[in-house]
Amino acid sequence: MPHRSIPALLLLAAAGCGGGGAPEAPVGTVAAYEGATLITGDGDPPIGGGVLVVDDGRITAVGRATNVTVPEGAAVVDLSGRTVMPALVDLHGHVGFQEGLDYDYANYTRENLLDQLNRYAYHGVGTIVSLGTDPGDLAFEIQAEQEAGTLGGARLRTAFRGIARPDAGPGAATMRPTAFGVSTPEEARAAVDEIAATGAAFVKIWVDDRGGSVEKLTADLYEPVIAAAHEHGLQVIAHVYYHDDAQALVEAGVDGFAHLPRDAEMDDALVAAIIENDVFVMPNLSISERGRHAEPPAWVQEPLLLESVADDVLARIRASFENRTPEAAARAGESYGAMARSLKKLADAGARLVLGADTGVQDHVPGFMEHRELELIVEAGVSPAEAIRIATSAPAEVLGVDSGLLAVGKRADFVVLDANPMYGITNTRQISAVYLNGEAVDREALRAGW
C-alpha cells in the first residue's frame, strides 16, 4: 500500500510537532518550520533556532531565524526542541525479493516493491538505488510514476541488471538470474549497451569468486565494461571482496565500490589511488558487522525496528546470531576490524564516502539498517556531522538528485527528530516525522498496516 500523500500544511498535528494543542489545519501553499536545530547535510555545524521554508515541495529559505524572512501568510510549524536533517540517500539496496519470511524471485512484484519503498520512507530514507538486481521494466515504471508525482514512497532509482560471469552475480541464489552473465569482451560491451538503453542510474559489476565457488569477472571483461559505460556517460560500481581486485579496478577506471575489501585492511597505496582517481566508496559495514556476534546484539530490540518488522522475521534474525559459533564470530570480527580501519584511513585521507547499506538482502531490513550503518561509521571514527553528510548530500551528489541537503532549491526531503544526532548518532532513529517532496509520510497509517 503506498503511503498516503498528505500535504505538509494539512498534517501539522500528525507530524507530532509543537508544544500544546494541535494547531488548526491552515490553508496555503507555504510552510515555515521554526525553532528546530537544522543539520543541513553538508558537514557544517548545526544551525540552532533555525527556520526552514518550503513551498510546493521545494526549500525556498533556510537559516537562523534572524536571517530568514517568513513569507506573509505562511503556515508556521513550531519545531522547538527538535532537530531537522535531510532524508537519507542510499546508493545500495536490492528491492523486491523479501516478503515476510519468504525470500524469492517470485516476490518481485509491484505490490512488494511499493511496500518496501514505503518502509524506506517510514525510516527517513528519501532515495534508494536498487543496485543491479531489477529484471524487466517494473522499477523503471515505478520511477516514472514517482517523477510524475502520482506515486509516493522513497524515491526509487535503479541500475537495472548488473554484469558478472555466468551465474556468478549476486550472492543470494534467487537474485543471481538478474545479472547479465558474460564470457567475452563482446558480450560485456553488449550488456553495457542494453543497460544504457534503459536509462539506468549506474552499471553494477560483481568482481568476486564467492570463496572460490564461482568464476570471477576478470580484467579482460571488466575493462571493456568500464570503457563502454564511460562512453555512455555511466558510472561503474563494483562489488569487490579482495584487496588486489580493488587496486586493479581503480587502475582500470572504476568509479565506485559497493563494499570495502574484506580479505585485508587497505594499504596506503590503495587509499592514495582511490583519492587520486576520485573513486567513491560505500563502506557497507552493517551487513559484515553482523557476523561478529554470537548472540543477538542490542539493536534487534530497537523500537524503530520492532515497529515495522513482523515477529516471525525478528525471530529468524535473532536465531541467526544464536546459531553462530564463537569461533565463527571471532573470524568475522577480525575481517570487520580490518574494514573499520580501512574506513578510518579513507575518511582521514578525504576519500569520497557515500552511504550504501545493501538493504534488501535477506533480513537486512530496508530503512532500519541505514541507521545502523550510520552508527557503525561513527563507531569507526567518523564524526556524526561527517557521517550524516556521507548519508545525505554526498550520495545525492554522486547520483545527481536534487535532495540530500537543506538548501534553497532542493527538494523538501527531510526528517524531524526528537533528539539531536550530534550528541549521539543513534538519535537519527528518534523519528517524529518524515517529509518527502514537502509532504508528510503518514507513518501512523503505514505502521497500522504492518
- Could you report the per-residue pLDDT of 159-182, keeping only the tens digit for each? 999 999 999 999 999 999 999 999
pLDDT, position 22: 35
Band (25; pLDDT cuts 50, 70, 90): very low
- Of 396, 421, 435, nearest in space to 38 by CA: 421
DSSP for residue 22 = P
Helix (H) or strand (E) holding 2: none
pLDDT, position 27: 47
Walk me through the domains of the chain, giving residue ranges and CATH numbers: 5-86+405-449 (2.30.40.10), 88-399 (3.20.20.140)
Band (1; pLDDT cuts 50, 70, 90): very low
- Do 239 and 254 touch, CB atoms closer than 8 A? no
Q: How far apart are CA 425 and CA 381, in angstroms?
A: 12
* pTM for this entry: 0.94
pLDDT, position 171: 93
Band (29; pLDDT cuts 50, 70, 90): confident
Alpha-carbon dihedral of residues 345, 268, 292, 96, nearest 10 degrees?
Answer: 80
DSSP for residue 151 = -
Q: How far apart are CA 415 and CA 175, in angstroms?
A: 32
Band (28; pLDDT cuts 50, 70, 90): low
Band (430; pLDDT cuts 50, 70, 90): very high
Band (297; pLDDT cuts 50, 70, 90): very high
Q: How far apart are CA 142 and CA 156, in angstroms?
A: 7
pLDDT, position 24: 40
* Per-residue CA distances from 303 to 18, 214, 307, 308, 368 (Å): 23, 39, 6, 9, 10
Q: How far apart are CA 428 and CA 394, in angstroms?
A: 17
Please state the separation of Cα 198 from the chain's center in Å. 22
Band (325; pLDDT cuts 50, 70, 90): very high
Provide the percentage of residues in the chain whose pLDDT is more than 70: 94
| pLDDT surpasses 90 at 152 | yes
Q: Crossing angle, helix 219-231 and helix 243-252, to 10 degrees? A: 40
| pLDDT surpasses 80 at 330 | yes
pLDDT, position 16: 38
Q: How far apart are CA 180 and CA 232, in angstroms?
A: 18
pLDDT, position 323: 87
Give the chain's mean pLDDT: 94
| pLDDT surpasses 80 at 10 | no
Band (133; pLDDT cuts 50, 70, 90): very high
